[in-house]
């Protein structure tokens, strides 16, 4: 019976991060490409002899590791560029497979590092007050309410000033700065029910179209297709919490259906944003030449 070929994936490769760059170890390279580590070291040292010192300093890092006998041994850590130069002369179908797997591993690690760097920059640009401070907590609550009002205004034909006055009236406060700890939950419940799932007084009622109804239930169904939400019965939650049923949608106005579609689109985008599909799309845009 023929033996099954063992699959090789980027997950089989462990890279390390040095100076914010992913690097592969010479010991792992020797193991994967079925070579003696001493021969790999010899090839690296030959490359270092021929390459500019500036390049060597950026791409080759001499380090030590502890072998199975507990003894310290020399090895090198290699960047993507150094790895490419080293394995350029390695031939054979298995060697090609490992080259591709290493490239995928470098791609994944670099994408993760870029993502972490971007998140760090975003956090650095957002000015937040010190933690564990009542003034800080109050400022955060107010900023969250401002964001909630902005969402409300984007879905309704009202101004920021009017939305803020209506919300304050509902919360029983004169201004947002007077909000209490439970204000966020109460505000969200009010805003979600008021503009999203109920009709707004004064609007001319025009029955929702069949296409709008299909869009609503397609969005609900779409939200359950991602790993982040697969174990959550989204349609059940919307039914139990907000009474979202086929009958309810059939009786909605065109205006109300548009608001519900906008709300569900936000939920769908959140589920999508946590999936590998969004990461794939971001990577595609990052790879496109600028200009």
Helix, strand or coil, per DSSP, at residue 236: helix
pLDDT attached to residue 76: 94
Residues 6+ apart with CB under 8 A from 22: 15, 16, 79, 80, 105, 106, 109, 110, 113
pLDDT per 10-residue tile (average), the chain, 291 residues: 43 78 91 92 93 90 85 90 90 85 87 70 52 68 86 78 87 86 79 54 68 85 69 65 73 78 77 57 50 46
Helix (H, G, I), strand (E, B) or coil at 289: coil
Q: For the purposes of burial, counting CB atoms within 10 Å of the CB of 98, is it exposed (0-12), middle (13-18) or buried (19 or more)?
A: buried
pLDDT of residue 234: 65
The neighbouring-strand residues paired with 78 are 24, 60
pTM given for the model = 0.39
Residue that is written with structure tokens 């101004």 in the block? 159
pLDDT for the residue 193: 63
CA distances from 105 to 8, 9, 112, 184, 263 (A): 11, 8, 11, 43, 38
pLDDT at res. 244: 73
């Amino acid at each position: 019976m023929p033996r099954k070929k063992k699959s090789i994936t980027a997950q089989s490769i462990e890279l390390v991060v040095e100076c914010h760059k992913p690097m592969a170890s010479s010991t792992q390279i020797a193991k994967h490409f079925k070579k003696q580590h001493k021969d790999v070291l010899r090839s690296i040292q030959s490359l270092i002899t021929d390459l500019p010192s500036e390049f060597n300093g950026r791409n080759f890092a001499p380090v030590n590791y502890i072998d199975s006998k507990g003894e310290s041994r020399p090895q090198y850590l290699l960047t993507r560029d150094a790895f490419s130069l080293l394995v350029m002369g390695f031939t054979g179908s298995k060697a090609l497979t490992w080259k591709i797997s290493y490239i995928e591993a470098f791609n994944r690690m670099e994408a993760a590092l870029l993502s972490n760097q971007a998140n760090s920059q975003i956090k650095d640009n957002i000015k937040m007050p010190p933690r564990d401070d009542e003034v800080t907590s109050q400022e955060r609550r107010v900023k969250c309410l401002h964001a909630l009002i902005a969402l409300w205004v984007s879905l309704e034909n009202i101004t920021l000033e009017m939305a803020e006055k209506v919300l304050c009236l509902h919360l029983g406060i004169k201004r947002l700065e007077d909000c209490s700890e439970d204000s966020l939950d109460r505000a969200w419940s009010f805003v979600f029910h008021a503009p999203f799932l109920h009709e707004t007084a004064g609007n001319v009622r025009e029955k929702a179209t069949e296409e709008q109804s299909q869009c609503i239930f397609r969005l609900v169904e779409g939200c359950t297709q991602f790993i982040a939400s697969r174990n959550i019965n989204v349609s059940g939650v919307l039914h139990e919490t907000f009474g979202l049923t086929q009958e309810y949608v059939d009786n909605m106005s065109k205006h109300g259906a548009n608001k519900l579609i906008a709300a569900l689109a936000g939920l769908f985008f959140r589920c999508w944003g946590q999936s590998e599909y969004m990461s794939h799309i971001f990577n595609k845009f990052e790879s496109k030449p600028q200009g």
